[in-house]
Amino acid sequence: MDGLLLSLMVIPLVAAAAPLLAAAIGKVAKVPLVVFEIALGIMIGPSLLGWAEPTEFVKILADLGLAMLFFMAGNEINFAAIKGRPLNRASIAWLISLAGGLLVGILIAPTVAAGVFIAVALSSTALGTLLPVLRDAKELSTPFGKAVTAIGTVGEFGPLLAISLFLSGHSLGHSVVVLLGFVLISGLAIWLTGRGENKVIHSMVNATLHSSGQFAVRLVLLILALLVGLSMAFGLDMLLGAFSAGVLWRVLISGAAPHDREVVEHKLDAVAFGFLVPVFFINTGVVFDVDALLSSPLTLALVPLFLVLFLVVRGLPNLLAAPVGATPRDKRAMVLFSATGLPVIVAVTAIGLERGLLPSGIATALIGAGMLSVLLFPMLALLHRRKEAPYSSGTTAA
């Protein structure tokens, strides 16, 4: 109990300190907030100061934070803005990444099964991590930002489908049927929501916007719980349900008054990025086993190897998705953003470890490389984008 109470006091302290550090260092260099959350999590964790310990309660909060991160990713995607060339090119690039990841994974893993886990991890992009970075940098509406959003959308949704099909523990035929069943139900819900005017819901949102009722936030949590529960009932990864819930909510709230939508988005930002998501990133640092990483030279050597593989396997193919007129600086930034991955990597390695199919050393190295990619790649990408290309502020189609 003492360990839990200490964690419950220290984690909020770290969550509050992280944006202060980001703002202070931001005067010198633009560093994504998650860098400080993960780094401070490692600092207060058992591997260093020992102020916070892994506990079941904090793990539940962290899982909710991970689900909320994917919900916000689904909610923030404007499919109308990325459809066509950005989404098509990003999809082709992801298939190339998956094929390259399979080749690399099978070559370096002790078993084919472990190689598949490595491939899915290498083909991921942390869209939920990148969207706040792009939004803070005012890049979401630029051709560059739309291209990165398309890459991240496929790089997050594609691996979730791969997890459901190949890593579910069922036969491929059974997995396809289950996945199709989930897609049919969630897709039907999204379609029906888009067909209706939803006036009753919009009026309830407006009526409780500034009251203790907070119907919008409660409805979001209900939709998230229902689709996450549905995905888990189907034997699929919960993140697929969380992502679908975000898409459903975006469709549901689209017909509300612009002012109401804006206020609700601010409230969701507060719940997600003010509470739950920081717990996930801080806990990722807390539970990271630094000792296990440093005790094995082979495991330690795998970290830079995987970091390079993120750039080669995931980053380079996305040069295909670069917007028309992209400069060399834009393309380098796009490779770095594309190669940023962590949430899917955490999910994939957890499944592999639970089933005994992925060696713990490889899992630790993958997570370590994923953490470094979040720590380094967005910051380096923003440095490349500091001097905006002439086309970036325009309305050229991506």
> Of the ranges 2-6, 110-114, 269-273, 305-309, which one carries the lowest mean pLDDT score?
2-6
Q: Which domains does the chain have, with CATH numbers?
A: 62-279+303-385 (1.20.1530.20)
99-112 burial by CB neighbour count: b if 16+ within 10 A, else e?
ebbbebbbeebeee
Model confidence, pTM: 0.82
Cα-only R_g, the chain: 20
Residue identified by tokens 């807390």 is 286
- Residue 393 has a CB neighbour count (10 Å cut-off) of 12
- The model's confidence at residue 398, banded by pLDDT at 50, 70 and 90, is very low
3-class state of residue 213 by DSSP = coil
| pLDDT recorded at residue 387 | 58
List all residues 6 or more positions away from 122 whose beta carbon is below 8 Å from its beta carbon. Answer: 97, 100, 101, 104, 105, 306, 309, 310, 313, 314
Residue-wise pLDDT tens digits, 219-253: 999 999 999 999 988 888 888 899 999 999 998 99
Residue partners of 340: CB distance under 8 A and separation at least 6: 125, 126, 129, 130, 310, 373, 374, 377, 378, 381
CA distance 113 to 357: 6
pLDDT tens for each residue of 367-393? 999 989 988 898 888 888 765 544 444
Residue 192, phi then psi, degrees to nearest 5: -65, -40
Among residues 110, 122, 57, which one has the least CA distance to residue 360?
110
Q: Let me know if 255 is exposed, middle or buried by CB neighbors in 10 A (0-12, 13-18, 19+).
A: middle
Instruction: Give the integer Cα–Cα distance in Å for 333 and 151.
Output: 13
pLDDT at 391 (0 to 100): 44
Mean pLDDT, range 307-324, rounded to an integer: 94
The per-residue pLDDT for 388 is 53
Helices (H) and strands (E) in the chain, counts: 19, 0
Can you give the pLDDT at residue 161? 85
The answer to whether the beta carbons of residues 392 and 142 sit under 8 Å apart is yes
On average, the pLDDT of the chain sits at: 87
| Residue 77 C-beta-side C-alpha neighbours within 13 Å | 28
